[in-house]
Structure 1
Amino acid sequence: MKYSLIIICFLFLCSCEKKKKISSIHTENWSKRAAAINDVDSLVYGKSYLSVYSQIYSISGEKTQNLTAMVSLRNVSETDTIYVLKADYYDTHGKSIRRYFEHPIYLAPLETTEIIIDQLDIYGGTGSNFIFEWKIPQNAPEPLFEGIMTSILGINGLSFTREARRLE
């Protein structure tokens, strides 16, 4: 009886542990990068598409393996600040999962910031994707958006990358 009570107390304490967030949405990072863009600024508008994978098929079409995805937002200009207006994440079926910031953010010359999609965050499925909207000064190089997917299972590692393509 005494041991049963100890086990029940232990299980209760373990179940009260805080649950881990399943996506790394660092809102403090986005608020530090908030930018006000004047409509009279002569900035060039663009839109990019990036495929990312929170899961891939493994062994058969019935078994999946979860991945961690790092989405890299890069300003490749050595001189100009650029602005990312939106970073919207969609699942395999095209359904919106989340918008990462509600206001434009800036990236200083050669600066990079990331969005991390945790290995436990499988909302995107096997065909998730991002749409980025951005503005850059005329004659500045376009931003670079990359997805780096990784997984470690036992002693095996898996990683691959995807690069965004411009839509508009």
Structure 2
Amino acid sequence: MNKRSLSVLSIAVLLAVSLSGCDQSVQDPNTMFSEQHKDPIKELEITSNIDRSKFKYKQTFYVPIYSDIYTDRDNRKVLLSATLSVRNTTLKKPLFINKIDYYDTAGNLVKHYLKSTIELPPMATLNYIVEKEEDKGGSGANFIIEVEGLDDTVTPVIEAVMIGNFSNKAFSFSTQGTPVIHD
């Protein structure tokens, strides 16, 4: 192979690699780590109309998320990754999730995660990852999650698990979703 052919081949390989890096679905950990390599939220979206007149349970939850914390040495910030987990604890009834919104420390909306309601089957879990590099939330970040169900036996378990490392030490901790009382 001559030098010109090698240069053209090198450029083609570099172009292919850089273009594949532009595909968000390939880089999204929620897609990469799902079994079918599909966004778990999009897979659960309901496209038809929902008869909400049958719903007897509706609740909003506040879930604290720490996208960073400070260490005791020089007030250094340590970035964390978080996994939001919404679990349907019933054996036979679906849980409907209407809202998953992510807010920063100042209370500003960072992202709406849902475009439409999703249906979480009985005993199913929706896990969603907030990457370590996503530092818009800050130390006081949170999710607001709104759920509905046929009755109050469809009460979900909502948690977040944060992991990180500092120096040569790794750590993790979790938070619980708290029902929001509407005024």
Higher helix share: 2
Match of 2:117 in 1: 104
Match of 1:52 in 2: 65
Aligned ranges 1:112-123 → 2 under 5 Å? 112-123=125-136
SS in 1 for 2:76: strand
Aligned-pair Cα RMSD in Å: 2.6
Contact 2:95 2:154 (8 Å CA) reproduced: no
Paired residues, number: 157
In structure 1, how many angstroms separate the alpha carbons of the residues matched to 2:111 and 2:163?
Answer: 21
Aligned ranges 1:8-157 → 2 under 5 Å? 17=18, 18=21, 24=29, 26=31, 28-35=39-46, 36-60=49-73, 62-153=75-166, 155-157=168-170
**Residue segments in structure 2 that go unaligned for 5+ positions in a row:** 1-9, 32-37
Deviations 1:80-136 (A, max 9, x none): 111010000000000000011111101111100111011111010111000001101
TM-score, normalising length: structure 1: 0.82
In structure 1, how many angstroms separate the alpha carbons of the residues matched to 2:23 and 2:173?
Answer: 26
Higher relative contact order (CA 8 A, sep 6+): 1
Contact 1:82 1:106 (8 Å CA) reproduced: yes
Alpha-carbon distance change, 154 to 25 in structure 1, aligned in 2, over 3 angstroms: same
SS in 2 for 1:46: strand
Contact 2:102 2:142 (8 Å CA) reproduced: yes
SS in 2 for 1:32: helix
In structure 1, how many angstroms separate the alpha carbons of the residues matched to 2:110 and 2:120?
Answer: 24
In structure 1, how many angstroms separate the alpha carbons of the residues matched to 2:168 and 2:74?
Answer: 23
**Residue segments in structure 1 that go unaligned for 5+ positions in a row:** 1-8
SS in 1 for 2:153: coil
Alpha-carbon distance change, 68 to 23 in structure 1, aligned in 2, over 3 angstroms: farther
Higher strand share: 1
TM-score, normalising length: structure 2: 0.75
Match of 1:3 in 2: none
Superposition deviation, residue 45 in structure 1: 1.1
Using the aligned pairs only, state the percent identity.
Answer: 24
Match of 2:4 in 1: none
